[in-house]
Amino acid sequence: MKKNISNLLSQAYPFYYQGKELWSITILLFFMTFLFGYFFEPFEVYQPEHKMGYFWITLIHSCTPVFMIFIFLSLKISPITKENWTIKKEILLVASFLLFVGIVQFLIRDIIYDNPNNWSLRYFYEELRNTFLVGILFAFILVPINYHRLNTKNSRNANAFNTSKKKSIISKKTPSHINELNVDSQNVLYAKAEGNYIELFLNDGSKILKRLTMKRLENILDSYSNYIKTHRSYIVNINQIDSVTGNAQGYKLQLKNCSNTIPVSRNMISKFNKKMNS
């Protein structure tokens, strides 16, 4: 049982908290919180304590998560963390976010309620409890929907690549020999970064180890249009792609004469789509 739970928590999970997706989530969260609080009044309220109308109270409570998202945005999350995001990390992030939202909701009670016990442990507990109840409810609604949306979108795009023949005609006019690496540009399946070294995997099953950084390799391959970076640790020869599969995390590439699957991370999907459709 413990092993199954551990395996579940270590599974890859999409990282949503950047770019347009983050703004979409923020706007949706605001409206859901406001509409849910205003029309359903999920928690008991005592009108004589209110310093303002219920509309404005609901609006303030709905703005608190948005404010906390801006605070979280100020925290720089490394690309490694984003690409290695898991269910466990997602749960911890959401729990931390709800905890801080609950604390802020407690701290602003004096602005909203005329109650001498605003700073009591009872109301501290109530604000945390209410925040977690609503947050968990929204998570159970939004997470599966968004996960299904991404999975469907990426699977559909991957199937489109598989049915097209574009991938077999890319870069016929590029130079055939990569002088700096001393290999033929069409014989390389993919390159993988290992610290300050690069492993070049060739279509005959062999591999070459070069003392090289990923950044330097990108510069070398810049003039070869059949190469694209799909992940912080991978560069792939597009002409060697045999099939593409998609899920909520991104794409998985199956190359010719290769049993390994190569990831296309979510932050590389847009660039990959543009390359494959160019």
Q: What is the pLDDT of residues 19-56, one digit of tens each?
A: 777 888 889 889 999 999 999 888 877 788 999 999 99
Low-confidence ranges of the chain (pLDDT < 70): 79-80, 164-175
Say what the pLDDT of residue 69 is.
Answer: 86
Say what the pLDDT of residue 164 is.
Answer: 66
Say what the pLDDT of residue 169 is.
Answer: 44
Please count the other Cβ atoms lying within 10 Å of the Cβ belonging to residue 178: 20
DSSP 76: -
Q: Give dist(CA 223, CA 59) in Å, integer.
A: 54
Say what the pLDDT of residue 175 is.
Answer: 56
**30: Cβ–Cβ under 8 A, 6 or more apart, which residues?**
62, 63, 65, 66
Say what the pLDDT of residue 171 is.
Answer: 45
The label of the residue with tokens 């005329």 reads: 114
Say what the pLDDT of residue 1 is.
Answer: 73
Q: Give dist(CA 120, CA 245) in Å, integer.
A: 54
DSSP 260: -
